[in-house]
Structure 1
Amino acid sequence: MHPILAISLGGALGALSRHYLSQLLQRHLPLTPPWTILLINLLGCFLIGLISAQLTHHRNGESWHLLLITGFLGSFTTYSTFALHSTQYLQHTPETSFILHLLSQIIFGLLACLLGLQLSHWLNKP
């Protein structure tokens, strides 16, 4: 697959997935946008860890990397959305809730990525 096509297709699917998953979470859970973005970012961190580790064992890893990592996950988890929703959250909530939100994004995002990497290593053990 041509790199531009892979990135474009992955990006379109990632953006659509983020949008519809955010709506689904808000409809079925008592969450506001900053917290739905947290869940989506954590899922994306987990997936980027899992997929990147899996792709190291794949023969066509570069094409899949462009489609899944650069395209899909690049638009599925987006820092700009996180920044906007966090700023809006800060304007309407106590500072302690805002700090908890930021720390949750960073700490749990890193842990989710590590979990994805570990799961991939576990799945690939002979």
Structure 2
Amino acid sequence: MNPLLVFVGGGLGALLRYAAGRAALLAGWAPPLATLGVNIVGCFAMGLLAGWFAHRGGPASVKIFLVTGLLGGFTTFSAFGLDTLTLYQRGAIGQALAYIAASIVISLLAVAAGFALMR
């Protein structure tokens, strides 16, 4: 059942990301700003949902659908934000900083490497 929840939620999240991106572009936003907006909204939603489930609980199936599926499809940056916050809250500040640096630097290098390989 969980894979189906992730699948459906992820599909809906991807559609929402597409719609939000299109709306931002139609409003005249440059592509990086559209992506930034989606990432900020996704991270805020991730914080709301993570806080809700951490402090109020709820069915695991709803959490899987919304957090892993919907927000995972909407933006994986929200998962990065939650992972970083989790490390910080556990007191692993050095690991959180290393994760931030590695995620940004290595991800950018990976994009550049993939792009270069396709030349």
State the TM bucket, normalised to the shorter chain. 0.5 to 0.7
Q: Does 1 or 2 have the higher relative contact order (CA < 8 Å, sep 6+)? A: 1
Quote the Cα distance in structure 1 between the aligned partners of 2:58 and 2:50.
13
Quote the Cα distance in structure 2 between the aligned partners of 1:37 and 1:78.
11
Quote the Cα distance in structure 1 between the aligned partners of 2:17 and 2:58.
28
Tell me the equivalent position of 2:115.
none
Tell me the equivalent position of 1:71.
69
Matched AA of 1:3: N
Q: How does 1:1-126 map to 2 (within 5 A)?
A: 2-28=1-27, 30-56=28-54, 57-60=56-59, 62-78=60-76
User: How many matched pairs?
Assistant: 77
Contact 1:55–1:64, Cα closer than 8 Å, also in 2: no
Contact 1:14–1:71, Cα closer than 8 Å, also in 2: yes
Structure 1 spans left out of the alignment, 5+ residues: 80-105, 107-126
**How far did residue 75 of structure 1 move?**
1.3
Matched AA of 1:5: L
CA displacement, residues 41-75 of structure 1 (integer Å, 9 cap, x when unaligned): 00000000001111231331x21121011111111
- Helix, strand or coil for the counterpart of 1:50? helix
**How far did residue 33 of structure 1 move?**
1.1
Percent sequence identity is 35
Structure 2 CA distance for partners of 1:59 and 1:73, relative to 1, 3 Å: closer
Contact 1:22–1:40, Cα closer than 8 Å, also in 2: yes
Quote the Cα distance in structure 1 between the aligned partners of 2:16 and 2:50.
19
Quote the Cα distance in structure 1 between the aligned partners of 2:31 and 2:19.
13
Structure 2 spans left out of the alignment, 5+ residues: 78-103, 105-119
- Helix, strand or coil for the counterpart of 2:73? helix
**After the TM superposition, which parts of structure 1 deviate over 6 Å for at least 4 consecutive aligned residues?**
none
